[in-house]
Amino acid sequence: MATKIYDTATIELVDGTELYITPLKLKYLREFMDIFQNVKNTEKETDTIGTLVDCARVAMKQYYPLIKTCEDVEEMIDMPTIYIILDIAAGIKINDKLDEPVKEQAVDSGSSWDTLNLADLESEVFLLGIWKDYEDLETSISMPELSAILNVKREQDYADKKFSAAMQGVNLDEQTGKSNAWEDLKAKVFSNGQATSGNDILAFQGINAQKAGFGIGMGLSYEQW
């Protein structure tokens, strides 16, 4: 079964216009979440709904720029559809069929800047050299995409460190308590069962050695004791 980086949806406006929506790019998500923080301070349900409508207005900058004001949102989008927008745009989940107040549902959804250092995350990804500046980065990717890129980057960085450590006889997985069952299995296959883990030097032979650019048969030999 194929995996997905994020959920998408197709919504319909009051006039019948269909919009395909995806998570907000970071540029719009910043503004969206700054407004969403105000939900915590609302006392009346109508104030909460008003704030969520304002969040939907920001989302329309990406989805449908013709909708520019909260009045436009209220005229063109019904509340169940706004809840779908909030979910896809920023992971804010609200079910209008539940008895729980909208404010509590929104706040409990876990969407918050409080514990997120977005600047550090963006700086780490920016080092890949793909984007010309931070504005370019923020208009190009969403939070799920940022997370996926970071995961891959960190896995690659760890794999490089693990190989360097293995060349010095250090089992980095044991040192860090990290293990990769898939890499261990591949190591056994490439070494005809001789390697015990993915960082065992015996795993770097054949096609595995070619991919690494270094290994047994490429300047290395070994003896069995």
Q: What's the confidence (pLDDT) of residue 218?
A: 47
Looking at the fold, whether 173 and 91 belong to one and the same domain comes out as no
Looking at the fold, whether 101 and 127 belong to one and the same domain comes out as no
Looking at the fold, whether 96 and 149 belong to one and the same domain comes out as no
Among 60, 82, 108, residue at a domain's last position: 108
Q: Which residues of the chain, if any, have pLDDT below 50?
A: 207-208, 214-225
Residue 33 · residue 91 · CB < 8 Å: no
Number of domains in the chain: 2
Among 70, 87, 108, residue at a domain's last position: 108
Flag whether 113 is in a domain: no
Flag whether 140 is in a domain: yes
Domain span including residue 54: 9-108
DSSP per residue over 49-83, as a string? HHHHHHHHHHHHHHH-TT--SHHHHHHH--HHHHH
pLDDT in tens, 85-120: 999 999 999 998 888 999 999 888 755 666 678 889
Residue 98 · residue 106 · CB < 8 Å: no
Looking at the fold, whether 48 and 135 belong to one and the same domain comes out as no
Looking at the fold, whether 99 and 52 belong to one and the same domain comes out as yes
Among 48, 81, 108, residue at a domain's last position: 108
Q: What's the confidence (pLDDT) of residue 9?
A: 97
